[in-house]
Structure 1
């Protein structure tokens, strides 16, 4: 009994020490996450129009206005298209890159280092480069596509709603897929090589090994990346705003763009705060649903 009590006391001390170490981080997260959310909640029930002005309490009027606004639902729909498109393209590019970088070939270490270059380049640099590449006058993409016979005349990649959204998805995916590829590469390197050797001896093809071994064992990593990637993609503002400003004809006006316009262009700060609160609730609900339905489960023994 004395030994068990001493063990319990030691465990409690370790837990208290661990909590003490984590406390500053939790306090910082609370200050940077909970405080802005509390301010948004307070603003959303008032009628503040510009920063610094005093508003009066209006209750749920802003929420009723937001939920009854066609612009809000259209922006939410575009955000869904944006998130799904980015998830598909980023995952496909990242998986392909991770599978290549997992192989052994001359220069693989350099390739693994340089693949993160597009992820660390500042957004404004990416915007300038892609604007130049996609320009109808002097850009490199249009002449290349014409030389390959894909198109006959220069295309305005941001001139139509469909092409503008597709182009933004490709650019954003190009920027973020290296980060996902590095995470997937780490997951691939944790898979025992003996499994592939045994499957090869049994006559399994490369595709069968990928489907039966790689994908199942990567499922936990893919799940985490899917949830985090969805939340991050939903909140992307800079690339969309700098490249299209939400155009043409509001075709790329996702929810973050609409919130910004409402707050700082339409001077309806409280309504924008209500939109942000609704968006936060939707994202939290989506994350909870994903955790409950998509999280890998251990098979019952």
Structure 2
């Protein structure tokens, strides 16, 4: 009778795991590491147009970028953009997830329909919202006038703060269903016995949410916070299609500035330097968020 060797079986499983991981890790390296190395190389040269050659300039591009007021302005707008999206999306997603977690007629249909705003193409989203927010012919201005909030049509993209706020609401409208579905999955993993025990003890809905729902959603919220921050920071399409960074740079986030620097000002070296700096900032922010938001183990 053949003997079974546990250590040999574990070794074989380990080699199989490495073999299975080799392809995805190779693809990740090809699509992430290689372009990043190329960006660093471009950032060290004075390249004007993509695909052309340029003399080695060392850290001159980084010095020029980090001393430019446009870079810090775009970084500040990006910070407002990320924080605004995080707050609006989280509030809308939590409320939607709590509603969809309840049992009521048509809940299955509601869970399907809520995801439609996320799968609609960006161009379609832009067309819909540009028409709805139009000062002439749109439906938002007449509605606000009818309920007495405004007395005449306003241009949602004509002033700086209004344009940025409108973009945040549009982007949050598109992305909060995805966050809501992720939170709904987290809610459905919470044992119903906990809510029943809390109800027996006299805890109301708000107390149950604070004592059970919110703490047990922390792991899911951690992942969504990190992912949402990185994804929101890199949003380019909605901003560019609706305002192109205007008016007067009020909605010019860092990705928009990088695009304009590379393909309108023809300073590819400067754009690459901005990209490298932004990538390092995002990596640092992700590490900070994971460290601050991750549940801390308490010693016994």
Per the normalisation by structure 2, the TM-score is 0.98
Aligned twin of 1:228:
227
Aligned twin of 2:254:
255
Is the 8 Å Cα contact of residues 47 and 55 (structure 1) preserved in structure 2? yes
Please give the alpha-carbon distance, in whole angstroms, between the structure 2 residues aligned to 1:281 and 1:56: 25
Aligned twin of 1:264:
263
Aligned twin of 1:213:
212
Please give the alpha-carbon distance, in whole angstroms, between the structure 2 residues aligned to 1:65 and 1:165: 27
Aligned twin of 1:14:
13
Please give the alpha-carbon distance, in whole angstroms, between the structure 1 residues aligned to 2:137 and 2:292: 49
Please give the alpha-carbon distance, in whole angstroms, between the structure 1 residues aligned to 2:84 and 2:53: 41
Displacement of 1:29: 1.0
Aligned twin of 1:146:
145
Please give the alpha-carbon distance, in whole angstroms, between the structure 2 residues aligned to 1:56 and 1:176: 43
Aligned twin of 1:171:
170
Displacement of 1:299: 3.4
Please give the alpha-carbon distance, in whole angstroms, between the structure 2 residues aligned to 1:136 and 1:66: 38
Structure 2 counterparts to residues 1-301 of structure 1, below 5 A: 6-301=5-300
Q: Secondary structure at the match of 1:156?
A: coil
Please give the alpha-carbon distance, in whole angstroms, between the structure 1 residues aligned to 2:147 and 2:200: 43
In structure 1, list runs of 5 or more residues that go unmatched.
none
Displacement of 1:212: 0.6
Q: Secondary structure at the match of 2:5?
A: helix
Q: Structure 1 segments of 4 or more deviating over 6 A?
A: none
Is the 8 Å Cα contact of residues 123 and 238 (structure 1) preserved in structure 2? yes
Displacement of 1:153: 0.5
RMSD over equivalenced CA pairs, Å? 1.2
Is the 8 Å Cα contact of residues 223 and 296 (structure 1) preserved in structure 2? no
Displacement of 1:75: 0.4
Paired residues, number: 299
Displacement of 1:300: 3.0
Per the normalisation by structure 1, the TM-score is 0.97
Deviations 1:247-283 (A, max 9, x none): 0000000000000000000000010000000000000
Please give the alpha-carbon distance, in whole angstroms, between the structure 2 residues aligned to 1:298 and 1:176: 32
